[in-house]
Structure 1
């Protein structure tokens, strides 16, 4: 794999993205992503952790503060993202560097765990990246947003505005991982927490924070939680994000 695998406009876009940094919004989202990582890894301990596509380092900051592991490493395609990570002064951060989006600058089986959180939906050649992850680590936590819904093709402009070029359901992610030789050990579905919705609605979208809108957000969350608790399979249907803990096998995708 050569650096040319990553389109030049993609790197430029993400460099610009982190220059327009929104600390409060990104830290709020990272709070729940870190919680999901800790939950699916419950009962396991890792010494060395690599986050691939570490963004601005907000997830690693939460994990470090929670004492998740003693040693962290980060790679990110964006120069501005790398600078944000360095400036966070994350305890246990051993290295942070720019990478080309596909080739990881580490030896085989260098890490106990790789984290790939809300990255795969942005990746042009997702299977190439997954194969590189398998080379470098033993365990993997992968989380993606669940963007796929009926008529998703009518919202292409919306998802491209976030850089989402791949859309998943829990079953389609499992299919992708299993056909690339990953063994899913534990999974977690999640819906957006009310405080995240409130921030997005009242701060990002600048809608009025009146009583009606406040109650609507709380009610929609409660209805979803109730349906998930009552109806089997509803968690995957209503999920906003899907998190899996995987190990690797010796299997590789075989076509015919």
Structure 2
């Protein structure tokens, strides 16, 4: 499940792509699957997440070979802190930072590092939780904002875009994503102390089915709802 649309980042042969806060590698694997010779690097502070990312990359590549699809481009995985990245100035073509900044107290230090390592005219995609669906989660369950390593803030999106632009970026596109996932998190928070509640499990099963089958009805419905109800908001920038 990808939050960022790769086509908006204008992928080209020979580029260096960095997924900052890659988690278990979903956007890295998607970038490797674009069938363009490029360097793809996943960076995360969680070592175990990087191990899982490597495993998922291998599993996906093996599956591609079994069904006759092209092999994935190689991937590289790095355990590092987003505020102290081991890359040279102006060395990366494209950076993805998806669902990361809401977990970081000093998120501006990460944005400054992104600006340092991104090439002039390089492209940046950032996604964060949309304000009002996230606010509902915080109201339904106090524990939602108290999970270790969880969300530490609800972003004011206008302020965030302004802060990124002030660091030397031009904002050129935005969109919502995962509208059908917002009700799942509301249900999960509403029944926080009843994790086995059948309605939560049934909705989760529905999301898995939707992800695997991609029926036209739900894909059309989510596309219609994303602009105002998408669980995530995605912003695209170029380094000026």
* Shorter-chain TM-score range: 0.5 to 0.7
Matched with 1:143 is: 127
Cα distance change of structure 1 residues 63 and 207 upon mapping to structure 2, 3 Å threshold: farther
Matched with 1:62 is: 30
The CA deviation string for residues 66-97 of structure 1, in whole angstroms up to 9 with x for no partner, is: 33662101111011112122332363335311
Are 1:207 and 2:203 counterparts? no
Structure 2 runs not aligned, ≥5 long: 62-71, 189-194
Across the aligned residues of Structure 1 and Structure 2, the Cα RMSD in angstroms comes to: 3.8
Matched with 1:105 is: 86
Matched with 2:65 is: none
The CA deviation string for residues 37-77 of structure 1, in whole angstroms up to 9 with x for no partner, is: 32432x55361101111111122112322336621011110
SS at 2:41's partner residue?
A: strand
The equivalent position to 1:125 in structure 2, one of 106, 119, 130, is 106
Matched with 1:40 is: 8
SS at 2:95's partner residue?
A: strand
Are 1:179 and 2:166 counterparts? yes
Matched with 2:144 is: 158
The equivalent position to 1:189 in structure 2, one of 156, 164, 176, is 176
Aligned-pair distance for 1:165?
0.7
Matched with 1:8 is: none
Aligned residues between the structures: 202
Aligned-pair distance for 1:130?
0.1
SS at 1:164's partner residue?
A: coil
The equivalent position to 2:21 in structure 1, one of 24, 34, 53, is 53
Structure 1 runs not aligned, ≥5 long: 1-30, 229-233, 250-256
The CA deviation string for residues 103-153 of structure 1, in whole angstroms up to 9 with x for no partner, is: 110101111001101111111101000000001112211111114466776
Cα distance change of structure 1 residues 143 and 151 upon mapping to structure 2, 3 Å threshold: closer
Matched with 1:79 is: 47
TM-score when scaled to structure 2?
0.68
TM-score when scaled to structure 1?
0.64
The equivalent position to 2:154 in structure 1, one of 167, 187, 194, is 167
